[in-house]
Amino acid sequence: MPDRRNQHPAIRRGVALVAALGGLLAIGASFAPWISTDTEDGGSTSISGWGGITGSSQIAGTNLNDVLDGAGTYRPGLIGLIFGVIAVICGIAIAAVNRGLRPHRITASVLSVCGLVCAGWGLFRGSSPGDAGVFEAGEASPGVGPWLTALAGIIMIVAATAVFAGIIDPPVPIDRRGIQPR
C-alpha cells in the first residue's frame, strides 16, 4: 500500500490555515459581546470582552473598566487574545517548516493547549457569564463571544489532531539494499 502522507504541500498548508483560522477567530471573539442584559426601558446592553459597553444603556460608549474605577476589571477576552495569537504563530510555523522526521509535534502540543484553554474558557463563560461586577446574580446572559472562543478552541484542537495523526509527516524513505559485495 503506498504511503499517502504529505503527498502535496497543500495538505500541510491546509492544516496550518485551520490552526491560524482558529487563532484569528479567538482573537476576533475577544472583541465580541460577552455579556448582554435587558435594560429597564426595554432595550438591551452588551459588554464586550474588553469591557466596552454598547446598546441602549445610559453609559453606552464607555468602558466598564473605567466605570469600575479600580474596584475591579472586566476583560474575559484577554485569554482568547493571548492564546489566539499563540495559535496563529503555530499556524505560521506549521506552514513554514516542512523538515524533520515528525515535524510539528511540539507545535501541535502548544496548539492543543491553546485549543483546550480557549474551549474550556469559552464553555465556562458561556455557561456562567458572571456579573461583571455590576449586575445582580442571574441578571446577565452570555453573549456570542464565549461561544466563538469555544468554537475557536475546537478548531485549534482539530488542527493539532491532524498533526498528531501524521497527515503532514514526510513520506518514509524506502530502504534499498543496493549492491552487496559477495
pLDDT tens per residue, range 112-154: 999 999 999 999 988 888 776 666 677 778 889 999 999 999 9
Q: What is the pTM of this model?
A: 0.83
pLDDT tens per residue, range 9-53: 788 899 999 999 999 999 999 999 988 887 777 778 888 888 777
**155 or 69: which leads in pLDDT:** 155
Cα torsion for 139, 154, 53, 36, to the nearest 10°?
-20
Confidence of residue 61 (pLDDT cuts 50, 70, 90): low
Give the cell for residue 165: 495523526
Q: What is the DSSP string of 125-145?
A: HHH----TTTSPTT--EE-SH
Confidence of residue 101 (pLDDT cuts 50, 70, 90): low
Plot region of 180 (φ>0 → left; ψ -120 to 50 → alpha; else → beta): beta
Which H or E element spans position 54? strand 53-55
Residues 122/149, Cβ–Cβ less than 8 Å: yes
